């Protein structure tokens, strides 16, 4: 899951980033509204965590602009303001949920998962593709009953493919969706990781149907083509 955190309190932002990365999330952070809006409007995210009070551009204005541009990424708004009228104003400008500070990380995580499930109808705790089983909550993968050990980045890439079964993605698109905006990645990094997954999921199970496909000149797909 790729998440954007827009929060000017560096301690809070960095704490959220660290916690989500421990849960295998891919997290970009912006410390002011202008930078946050630029990332939110130019990159693709599963969820945006947005502080209401920000320097340069506040959270309400970011919501307003994103929704006017038909960017419908789920937005969880954070604020020290917990009054009803403040919550209503945030929701009216396009936020999908509201969480008052201070908050428990477990509640933040639960709300993120709830928001991510809304637009991604394929997201379930257990996903089955042919004989491949993916437990997205416990980060466990198996095929034909045999467990498969994946690194965090391999799991993130597989989860993205599973949620987009049958769609074709270039190396550049995979890098954009699965790696942080400021990650130091090489042009062939996504290709290398697809190779890792293919070796573990397809090559090690020659009796099973191959799930990864290379579409020459376009990129890669997973599962049944749409």
Which pLDDT tens digit goes with each residue over 151-174? Answer: 989 998 998 898 888 899 999 889
Residue 156: closest CA among 186, 194, 121:
194
Residue 212, strand partner residues: 222
Within a 13 Å sphere around the CA of 64, how many CA atoms are in the beta-carbon half?
Answer: 9
Please tell me which residue, 216 or 123, carries the higher pLDDT value: 216
Region 170-196: what's the mean pLDDT? 84
pLDDT tens-digit series, residues 80-125: 765 666 666 767 778 888 888 888 999 999 889 888 765 444 445 7
pLDDT tens-digit series, residues 8-63: 999 999 999 999 998 888 899 999 999 999 999 998 898 999 999 999 999 999 99
In the chain, domain spans: 2-117, 126-222
Provide the strand spans (E) within 137-191.
140-143, 146-148
Region 181-193: what's the mean pLDDT? 81
pLDDT attached to residue 186: 83
Query: Whole-angstrom Cα distance, residue 8 to residue 192?
Result: 35
Contacts of 19 (CB under 8 A, 6+ apart): 105, 108, 109
CB atoms within 10 A of CB 160: 19
CB atoms within 10 A of CB 190: 24
pTM of the shown model: 0.61
Say if residue 101 is exposed, middle or buried (CB neighbours under 10 Å; 0-12, 13-18, 19+): middle
Q: Which fold has domain 126-222?
A: Arc Repressor Mutant, subunit A (1.10.10)
pLDDT attached to residue 24: 80
pLDDT attached to residue 120: 44
Which CATH number is correct for 2-117, 3.60.20.10, 3.30.70.1230, 3.20.20.80, 3.40.50.2300? Answer: 3.40.50.2300
DSSP 40: H
């Amino acid at each position: 899951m790729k998440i954007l955190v827009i929060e000017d309190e560096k301690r809070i932002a960095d704490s959220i980033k660290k916690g989500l990365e421990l849960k295998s999330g891919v997290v970009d952070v912006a410390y002011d509204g202008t930078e946050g809006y630029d990332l939110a409007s130019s990159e693709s995210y599963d969820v945006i965590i947005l502080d209401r009070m920000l320097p340069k551009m506040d959270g309400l204005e970011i919501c307003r602009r994103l929704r006017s541009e038909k960017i419908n990424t789920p937005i969880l708004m954070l604020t020290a303001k917990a009054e009803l009228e403040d919550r209503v104003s945030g929701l009216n400008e396009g936020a999908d949920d509201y969480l008052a500070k201070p908050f428990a990380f477990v509640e933040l995580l639960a709300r993120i998962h709830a928001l991510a499930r809304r637009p991604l109808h394929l997201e379930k705790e257990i996903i089955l593709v042919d004989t491949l089983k993916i437990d997205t909550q416990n980060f466990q993968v198996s095929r034909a009953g045999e467990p498969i050990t994946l690194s965090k980045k391999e799991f993130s890439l597989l989860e993205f493919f599973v949620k987009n079964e049958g769609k074709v993605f270039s190396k550049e698109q995979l890098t954009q969706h699965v790696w942080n905006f400021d990650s130091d990645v090489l042009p062939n990094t996504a290709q290398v990781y697809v190779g890792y997954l293919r070796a573990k999921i397809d090559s090690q199970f020659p009796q099973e149907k191959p799930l990864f496909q290379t579409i020459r000149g376009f990129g890669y797909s997973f599962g049944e083509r749409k």
